[in-house]
Amino acid sequence: MESLEVACAGVINMAKTSSFWNGRQVLLTGASGLVGSWLVEELLSQGAQPVCLVRDRVPDSRFFSEGFDKKVTVAAGELEDRNAIERVINEYEPATIFHLGAQTIVQTANRSPLHTFRANIEGTWNLLEACRTHGKAVEQIIVASSDKAYGDQKVLPYTEDTPLQGRHPYDVSKSCVDLISQSYAATYSLPVAISRCGNFFGGGDLNFNRIVPGTIQSLCKNEAPVIRTDGKYVRDYIYVKDAVSAYLTLAEKYKPALCGEAFNFSNEAQMTTLEMVSLISKLMKKSIAPKVQNSASGEIRNQHLSAKKAREVLGWKAKYGIEEGLAETIDWYLAYFGKKRIG
């Protein structure tokens, strides 16, 4: 009898979780990106009705290769076009918005800061202004900031009270995104909550300049992984499925008392770049020494986050350790490279 009660309780808990999203109109920016594609997949599995603002069709993105674009409403447009954003919000009346869209590559931002500032900063104020003027149905807006918004700090780990002081282009763009979001929450009571995560990794990241997919690709080709820094830069790494869980939890637990609040999400297991490459090599059973170029510039040396607030306020914690997440990630890329030439 007891086991039946436990089983029924489990069914009820699952129903409560899925009922929040079942039939819910959800707008996503950045749906074709790494985290966006996994978030779309999870929202679909829970019965949501995603509307995805998409600028470019990237065939190899999971969003397209897995056919998610055929299961959602795709609205063509870019973040810099406020008219396009206003139209989407006005016509589809989303209850929940996930603002993940951004130019996310640090080195790209260093080469072309104005493009990054427009996409990230102007794109954010366009979205929030459209919500202010046309978003009567909007119940929560989850804005993706970043640990980069904190900039270089002497005291680590970052907490949500750490000042936002980005200095390099990408970091500055995220500091601004964060502060603009807080401003709209404080001034207009816009239902905004902010996420700050470290470096995402997981299957579907096709930017092979990043250390995780780049290392896996190199080892698959029996080549030496390339490290642009001296290998001693410290980073927070979060598996993409934990990131999806973080975004969903923040939306589900949102209430007026959280308006304008920011939350760090992390498994709190920071690593150096050399440690990350070494772990990937171990999991892939490869012993090829990396090429340490020590040529990177304009990047923060040491970063890691405290997720204490997310644990205590939201009841969230990472489900995947780094090694477990990497194992799944490696499996994804082995399958991907099995279908495509990597030479």
Q: For residue 121, what is the DSSP state? A: I
In the predicted model, is pLDDT for residue 11 greater than 50? no
Of the listed ranges 15-29, 90-104, 193-207, the least confidently predicted one is: 15-29
**Within-domain flag for 245:** yes
What is the sign of the dihedral through the CA atoms of 77, 27, 246 and 15? negative
Q: What is the mean pLDDT of residues 300-328?
A: 97
Q: What is the mean pLDDT of residues 121-141?
A: 97
Q: Which tokens go with 70?
A: 């055929």
What are the distances in angstroms from CA 260 to CA 180, 208, 257, 306? 10, 34, 9, 19
Q: Is 336 a catalytic residue?
A: no
Domain extent, residue 160, equals 17-201+238-269+302-320
Cα–Cα distance for residue pair 85/92, rounded to 1 Å = 11
**Within-domain flag for 94:** yes
Contact residues for 153 (Cβ-Cβ < 8 A; gap 6+): 162, 163, 165
- pLDDT for the residue 4: 40
Query: With pLDDT > 90 as the criterion, what percentage of the chain qualifies?
Result: 90
- pLDDT for the residue 1: 41
Cα–Cα distance for residue pair 140/94, rounded to 1 Å = 9
Q: Which of 158, 170, 320, 333 does the annotation list as catalytic? A: 170
**Within-domain flag for 12:** no
- pLDDT for the residue 339: 58
- pLDDT for the residue 293: 94
**Within-domain flag for 197:** yes
Of the listed ranges 25-39, 59-73, 92-106, 286-300, the least confidently predicted one is: 286-300
- pLDDT for the residue 13: 39
| Cβ neighbours around 37 below 10 Å, total | 27
- pLDDT for the residue 299: 87
Q: What is the mean pLDDT of residues 237-251?
A: 98
In the predicted model, is pLDDT for residue 10 greater than 90? no
Return mean pLDDT, the chain: 93
In the predicted model, is pLDDT for residue 288 greater than 70? yes
- pLDDT for the residue 340: 56
**Within-domain flag for 3:** no
What are the distances in angstroms from CA 221 to CA 116, 265, 341? 32, 33, 10
In the predicted model, is pLDDT for residue 21 greater than 80? yes
**Within-domain flag for 135:** yes
**How many domains are there within the chain?**
1
Q: What is the CA radius of gyration of the chain?
A: 20
**Residue 298 pLDDT grade (very low, low, confident, very high; cuts 50, 70, 90):** confident
Which residue do the tokens 């007891």 mark? 2
- pLDDT for the residue 296: 82
**Within-domain flag for 253:** yes
> In a 3-state reduction of DSSP, which class is residue 142?
strand
CB 132, CB 184: distance < 8 Å: yes
CATH number of the domain to which 92 belongs: 3.40.50.720
**Within-domain flag for 341:** no
